[in-house]
Amino acid sequence: MKSVLFSRFFILLPWILIVIIMLDVDTRRPAPPLTPRPYFSPYAVGRGGPRLPLRRGGPVRGAEKGNESRPQPQPQPQLPTIYAITPTYSRPVQKAELTRLANTFRQVAQLHWILVEDAAARSELVSRFLARAGLPSTHLHVPTPRRYKRPGLPRATEQRNAGLAWLRQRHQHQRAQPGVLFFADDDNTYSLELFQEMRTTRKVSVWPVGLVGGRRYERPLVENGKVVGWYTGWRADRPFAIDMAGFAVSLQVILSNPKAVFKRRGSQPGMQESDFLKQITTVEELEPKANNCTKVLVWHTRTEKVNLANEPKYHLDTVKIEV
Ligand code: UGA
Ligand code: MN
């Protein structure tokens, strides 16, 4: 009886092994996709766009080899690049501000961050930060002349101009790729929807800004799809009564107006935006975004000055920590 069972087992064994091997092979083979799967990425804002590869720690090249049957993300039909020019300066909250900003920008497809330090040289803190930020970026620096570092005078004029000069230089020989520029101060708060709105800018687009000008919000007033005035609590007589966070300009407009820059001479704080926009557009030409300028998608938040009253005069800790 025992030997019969044994012989049956040995007759069946090869068949059992064959079935196991076949099952195993089958589960390893990727099923040919019947219809291409939509490429889903939680990081893309430009509707289904692929996540931008990280500069470091991105997908390993070799790992993609031999996986050709996997559906590849469809190439984007030239999503305009958003260039964000951010002036920044050294202070206790700088790294915290830049961290918040990078966390937002990392979720926006096809964004190039132009970070301009108000400094005589690139700082180690910002260089290290950018290298690990996982964003396509350009790191510039230019110091604000001492005579302009006074309360009541406009800030970041030289830094924004350095960003503009870099953009013009970069695109001077090639035909301009579709692109949109906007000025992203390092302390504001930006919703992801804002980037979707500004991406379709043809010349100059505008939208409301929250928590600015002594009011809950300021906004361009729109009638029949055109800007006809400004809802603002401060100097409504400005030709463009808008904050730096309230507009975007197409790369084409920046390139075809090579002399348009932020000016020190004759410019008071709060007038920089208006003086700049006057050089490149007219009120009639403005493109209202954010549902005819009825939605706040960016806030002019300001970070409280940090209390360092208990900070020792000399370094007391056993380690040196970057904050
Ligand atoms: C308001 C406007 O929103 C700014 O766009 C404008 O530049 C500024 O006024 C002005 O007075 O010129 P506010 O919040 O008062 O903004 O200004 P900050 O946020 O202190 O500075 C604007 C940007 O310039 C920030 O990105 C900041 O990091 C940078 N900055 C500020 C410098 O690069 N250097 C400085 O010395 C000060
Ligand atoms: Mn600010």
Mean pLDDT for 269-297 is 96
| Inside any domain, residue 228 | no
Per residue in 91-126, pLDDT tens?
999 999 999 999 999 999 999 999 999 999 999 999
| Inside any domain, residue 15 | no
| Inside any domain, residue 257 | yes
Domain count, the chain: 1
Work out the mean pLDDT of the chain and round it to a whole number.
Answer: 84
User: Which ligand sits nearest to residue 88's alpha carbon?
Assistant: 1
Of all atoms in ligand 1, which is nearest to the CA of residue 94?
28
Mutate to test the pocket of ligand 1, among 85, 90, 97, 185 (most ligand atoms within 8 A of CB): 185
- For 133, the domain range is 81-207+243-291
Q: What band does 270 get if pLDDT is binned at 50, 70 and 90?
A: confident
Ligand 1 and 262: CB distance under 6 A: no
Measured in Å, residue 307 CA sits from the centre of ligand 1 at 20
Q: What is the CATH number of the domain that holds 203?
A: 3.90.550.10
Per residue in 178-209, pLDDT tens?
999 999 999 999 999 999 999 999 999 999 99
Q: Percent of the chain having pLDDT more than 70?
A: 76
| Inside any domain, residue 221 | no
User: Which ligand sits nearest to residue 184's alpha carbon?
Assistant: 1
Ligand 1 and 89: CB distance under 6 A: yes
User: Of 4-13, 33-42, 267-276, which gets the smallest average pLDDT?
Assistant: 33-42
pLDDT for residue 26 is more than 50: no
| Inside any domain, residue 12 | no
Tell me which residues are annotated as active site. 273
Measured in Å, residue 303 CA sits from the centre of ligand 2 at 8
| Inside any domain, residue 178 | yes
Task: Give the E-state strand segments of the chain in sequence order.
Answer: 81-88, 111-117, 137-141, 179-183, 189-190, 204-206, 209-212, 215-223, 226-231, 247-250, 287-288, 298-299
Q: Provide the whole-model pTM.
A: 0.80
Mean pLDDT for 48-75 is 41
Per-residue confidence (pLDDT) for residue 173, from 0 to 100: 82
| Inside any domain, residue 29 | no
Query: Rounded to an integer, what is the distance from CA 16 to the centroid of its chain?
Result: 57
| Inside any domain, residue 124 | yes
